[in-house]
Amino acid sequence: MSLKRTIPPAGALVLAAALLSPPVSTAAPVHSLAAPDISLANVQAHLNDLQSIATANGGNRAHGRPGYLASVNHLKAKLDAAGYQTSVQQFTSSGATGYNLIADWPGGDPNSVLMLGGHLDSVTAGPGINDNGSGSAGLLEVALTVARERLAPQKHIRFGWWGAEELGLIGSTYYVNNLPTTERSKIKGYLNFDMIGSPNPGYFVYSASGQPSGSLQIQQVLQAAFTVPTELTSVGGRSDHAAFARSGIPVGGTFTGAEVTKTAAQAQKWGGTSGVAFDRCYHRSCDTTGNIDATALDRNSDAIAIALWNLAGAGTPPGPRFENPEDVTIPDLSTVQSPIPVSGVSGNAPAALAVGVDITHTYRGDLVIDLVAPDGTAFRLKDSDNDSGDDVVTTYTVDASGEVANGTWVLRVRDVASADVGRINGWSLQF
């Protein structure tokens, strides 16, 4: 509800503070969950690459076979080009050299690491496109998206692609067991993605039950990342999160099902075929690019990004927002102000204080607009000029990092020329 006032005589200095009703301040502790969409086409392209690597190397990407190291080198090149710090960790298993690929995204708190991973090796029977080209490709595309977005999260982000999972979680166990205790304690969470594109998919999230404390948050973030209903599953020791869990690191992950058959109830809620395995080609030669459900792959790839963006503190949660919605008339050749009292914000204002201004005017070139900090420091938002357009409806960004946040901020509007008038409809401060 706006209150109109009589316009005082022209030339009068008007300090028409809109104090008839107290300014409304609305704190908005809403966190930005906005993770970017992960391109399904790009994930599928990574799967095609892995299929080609298998085809060119005897039909598989298994530990100790050339298709495995070719897979590592392929991913490493993409990650290096995107700005990751990569390393290849070697180990020996069953008389053959195995490799873990580790990729660190520069930045973030080195003492607080969020790690995401999955195994890159296949069984010898086939190319391992769902198991686990799918998790590997989803993770790769999320990593490349982090780079494209120049993400600067609170936590340090690290990805791992494990070798020799199919021989008994060899690579991931080697990695965890060879981390110095202090490095292990820096890892605040590990998310595992092993089989995320099953052709007759289920939507499973690793249950936090029986896992280290802190796992429940990961479980809940992953559950919330899906628009389809999910079921909790106890993956137990069947994938690479197990070594992390044994070290007390919170773990979680997603899974679209392997050799187990889909029930009628599951087919009801997820579609697909009941009485048939989630993945009929599990550990078989037919685990090719034809063995992927694109929707499941898409949803799970997006879920990886949503979990990362949330758990890494990536979306900068906006600070509180304050506004004064009261109308203040702007007579000719006058100065008017509208206050916003700010309280409950600790420390200084941000370097990008967003000042939303909504002014109706018949000739905005008349207006000089300042934001005045509680201590009287004025920030010029707009000067007068010959701009004959009307109204000023915009958001200015002010570096107010030198100003204490709490106190009364003022929008000061000066009309410097005759013949055109207007009013402040309202304004806001987003900390």
* DSSP per residue, 311-373: HTT-S-----EEEE---EEE-TT-EEEEEEEE-S--SBPPTTEEEEEEEEES-GGGEEEEEE-
Q: How many Å apart are CA 394 and CA 364, to the nearest integer? A: 12
Nearest distance from C-beta of residue 161 to Zn ion, angstroms: 12
CB of 116 to ligand DPN, least distance (A): 15
Q: Which residue number is nearest to ligand DPN in terms of Cβ?
A: 238
Integer distance in angstroms from the first to the last C-alpha of the chain? 25
Gap between the Cα atoms of 3 and 14, Å rounded: 16
If contact means CB under 5 to 8 A according to the sort of partner, which of ligand DPN, Ca ion, Zn ion, none does residue 322 touch?
none
258 binding partner (options Ca ion, Zn ion, ligand DPN, none; Cβ < 5 to 8 Å by kind): ligand DPN
User: What is the nearest approach in angstroms of Ca ion to the Cβ of residue 394?
Assistant: 19
> Can you tell me which of 131, 240, 293, 327 binds Zn ion, judged by CB under 5 A?
131
Using the rule CB under 5 A, is 194 a contact of Zn ion?
A: yes
Q: Which does residue 415 bind out of ligand DPN, Ca ion, Zn ion, none, counting CB within 5 to 8 angstroms by kind? A: Ca ion
- Cα separation, 227 vs 333, whole angstroms: 56
The DSSP annotation for 197-266 comes to: --SS---EEE--TTSPTTHHHHHHHHHHT-SS--EEE--TTSSTHHHHHHTT--EEEEE--SSSBPPHHH
> Measured from the CB atom, is 126 or 422 closer to Ca ion?
422
Amino acid at 344: G
CA dist., res. 259 & res. 199, Å (int): 11
Count CA atoms within 13 Å of residue 13 on its CB side. 1
Which residue ranges make up the site for ligand DPN (CB under 6 A)? Answer: 131-132, 165-166, 194-195, 235, 238-239, 255, 258
Of 141, 149, 165, 183, which residue is the catalytic one? Answer: 165
254 contributes a contact to Zn ion by CB under 5 A: no
Which CB sits closer to ligand DPN, 226 or 379? 226
393 binds, among Ca ion, ligand DPN, Zn ion, none (CB under 5 to 8 A by kind): none
Structure tokens belonging to residue 3: 């209150």
Name which of 227 and 418 has its Cβ closer to Ca ion.
418
From the list 9-17, 33-41, 152-160, 359-367, the region that binds Ca ion by CB under 5 A is 359-367
| Catalytic annotation present for 165 | yes
Size, binding site for Ca ion by CB under 5 A: 5
Instruction: Tell whether residue 366 is a contact of Ca ion (CB under 5 A).
Output: yes
- Minimum distance of Ca ion from residue 333's CB (angstroms): 7
With CB under 5 to 8 Å by kind, the binding choice for 366 among Zn ion, ligand DPN, Ca ion, none is Ca ion
49 contributes a contact to Ca ion by CB under 5 A: no
166 binds Ca ion (CB under 5 A): no
Question: Any contact of residue 132 with Zn ion (CB under 5 A)?
Answer: yes
Distance of alpha carbon 403 from its chain centroid, rounded? 30
Distance CA 216, CA 410 (A): 45
Please tell me the distance from the alpha carbon of residue 45 to that of residue 141, in angstroms, as a whole number.
Answer: 10
User: Is residue 330 within the footprint of Ca ion (CB under 5 A)?
Assistant: no
Fill in the per-residue mask, 383 to 422: x = in contact with Ca ion (CB under 5 A), - = not in contact. Answer: --------------------------------x-x--x--
Which CB contacts under 8 angstroms, 24+ apart, belong to 387-392? 388/363, 389/364, 389/365, 390/360, 390/361, 390/362, 390/363, 390/364, 390/422, 391/359, 391/360, 391/361, 391/364, 391/422, 392/357, 392/358, 392/359, 392/361, 392/364, 392/367
Binds Ca ion (CB under 5 A): choice among 279, 287, 332, 370: 332
Provide, rounded to whole angstroms, the least separation between the CB of residue 130 and Zn ion: 9
Cα–Cα distance, 84 to 156 (Å, whole number): 12
Q: Which two tokens stand for residue 104?
A: 């660190």
Point out the residues that are catalytic.
Answer: 165
Q: Which residues bind Ca ion (CB under 5 A)?
A: 332, 366, 415, 417, 420
Q: Which residues bind Zn ion (CB under 5 A)?
A: 131-132, 194
